[in-house]
C-alpha cells in the first residue's frame, strides 16, 4: 500500500488537508507526521503550511524536518500548499525579511494594496475567496480541471519565481501573480485544494495518482 505523508510541523490545522487526501486516496495510507524517517519512507509527500513566514521557518527547524523535506522535494511526488509553496522560495518580504528554504529561485512579496475592485473600493487584503486559476502549462495535476476554474485562496503574500518556466498557473487579484509552480516531481500551489470543493479534490486525486 502506498504511503502518503502530510508533513506536520505544528503550524496550523492539518485535519482539513488529511481528510481531503484520505477522501481521494482510497487505496493509500495517509499519515500526518513530523518524523524525518516517516517522511523519508513516504511514497508521496504533502507539505502544507499557514501563518507567518518567520514562524513557519522556525517550526520547520524546531521539528528537524528540513532535511527530510528537501530530500522529498528532490525525489518523490511532492505537493506544497499555501505556505508550503512560499517557503520553497529564496526570500520573503514578510516579518521585515525572512530567508526561506531557497529550493526554488525567487521571492515572496506582499500585495501592493494599490488596486481597486469592481466597486471602486481598495482591494481587501488578505486575498480571501475564490479566484480563477489560469493554467500556464499542461500538467498531470490539471487533468480533469478546466482552465480558469476557481480555487479558494487565503493569503497576503505571493511568490515571484525568477524563472518563468517554473510557473504552472497564474491568477489575478489587482495584479497577476503566480499561484502554482511545477518542476519535475514537485508541484506547489498558493490556493487551498482541500477547501476548493470538487476541483480541489480533483487536483488532490491527480496528485495521488501522479506517475513520474
Residues forming contacts to other proteins in the complex (CB under 8 A) are 12-13, 15-16, 19-20, 23, 50-52, 113, 117-119, 121-132, 148, 150, 152, 154-155, 172-174, 194-197, 200-201
User: How far is 24 from 204, CA to CA, in rounded Å?
Assistant: 7
Which CB sits closer to other proteins, 130 or 210? 130
- C-beta of 195: minimal distance to other proteins in Å? 5
Which CB sits closer to other proteins, 70 or 174? 174
β-strand partners of 33: 7
β-strand partners of 178: 159, 170
- C-beta of 212: minimal distance to other proteins in Å? 26
Output the CA torsion sign for 179, 13, 42, 204.
Answer: negative
Q: Locate cell 495535476: which residue?
A: 141
Half-sphere exposure of 29 (CA within 13 A, CB side): 10
82 is annotated as an active-site residue? yes
Identify the DSSP state of 124: P
Spot the catalytic one: 56, 94, 135, 194: 194
Spot the catalytic one: 63, 82, 135, 155: 82
Spot the catalytic one: 63, 135, 155, 192: 192
Which CB sits closer to other proteins, 104 or 149? 149
Q: Do 62 and 56 touch, CB atoms closer than 8 A?
A: no
Which CB sits closer to other proteins, 121 or 212? 121
User: How far is 166 from 42, CA to CA, in rounded Å?
Assistant: 25
- C-beta of 147: minimal distance to other proteins in Å? 12
194 is annotated as an active-site residue? yes
Backbone angles phi, psi at 130, to 5 degrees: -100, 115
- C-beta of 160: minimal distance to other proteins in Å? 19
- Contact residues for 130 (Cβ-Cβ < 8 A; gap 6+): 150, 151, 152, 153, 196
The catalytic residues are 82, 192, 194
Amino acid at each position: 500500500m502506498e504511503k502518503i505523508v502530510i508533513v506536520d510541523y505544528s503550524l496550523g490545522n492539518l485535519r482539513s488537508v488529511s481528510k481531503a487526501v484520505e477522501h481521494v486516496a482510497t487505496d493509500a495510507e495517509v499519515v500526518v507526521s513530523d518524523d524525518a524517517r516517516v517522511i523519508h519512507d513516504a511514497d508521496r509527500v504533502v507539505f502544507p503550511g499557514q501563518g507567518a513566514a518567520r514562524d513557519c521557518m522556525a517550526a520547520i527547524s524546531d521539528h528537524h524536518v528540513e532535511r527530510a523535506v528537501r530530500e522529498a522535494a528532490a525525489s518523490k511526488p511532492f505537493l506544497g500548499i499555501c505556505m508550503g509553496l512560499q517557503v520553497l522560495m529564496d526570500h520573503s518580504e514578510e516579518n521585515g525579511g525572512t530567508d526561506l528554504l531557497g529550493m526554488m529561485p525567487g521571492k515572496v512579496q506582499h500585495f501592493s494594496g494599490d488596486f481597486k475592485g469592481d466597486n471602486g473600493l481598495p482591494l481587501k487584503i488578505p486575498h480571501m475567496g475564490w479566484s480563477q486559476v489560469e493554467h500556464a502549462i499542461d500538467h498531470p495535476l490539471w487533468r480533469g480541471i478546466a482552465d480558469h476554474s476557481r480555487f479558494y485562496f487565503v493569503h497576503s503574500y505571493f511568490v515571484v519565481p525568477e524563472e518563468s518556466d517554473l510557473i504552472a498557473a497564474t491568477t489575478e487579484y489587482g495584479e497577476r501573480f503566480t499561484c502554482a509552480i511545477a518542476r519535475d516531481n514537485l508541484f506547489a500551489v498558493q490556493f487551498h485544494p482541500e477547501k476548493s470543493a470538487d476541483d480541489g479534490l480533483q487536483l488532490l486525486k491527480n496528485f495521488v495518482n501522479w506517475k513520474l
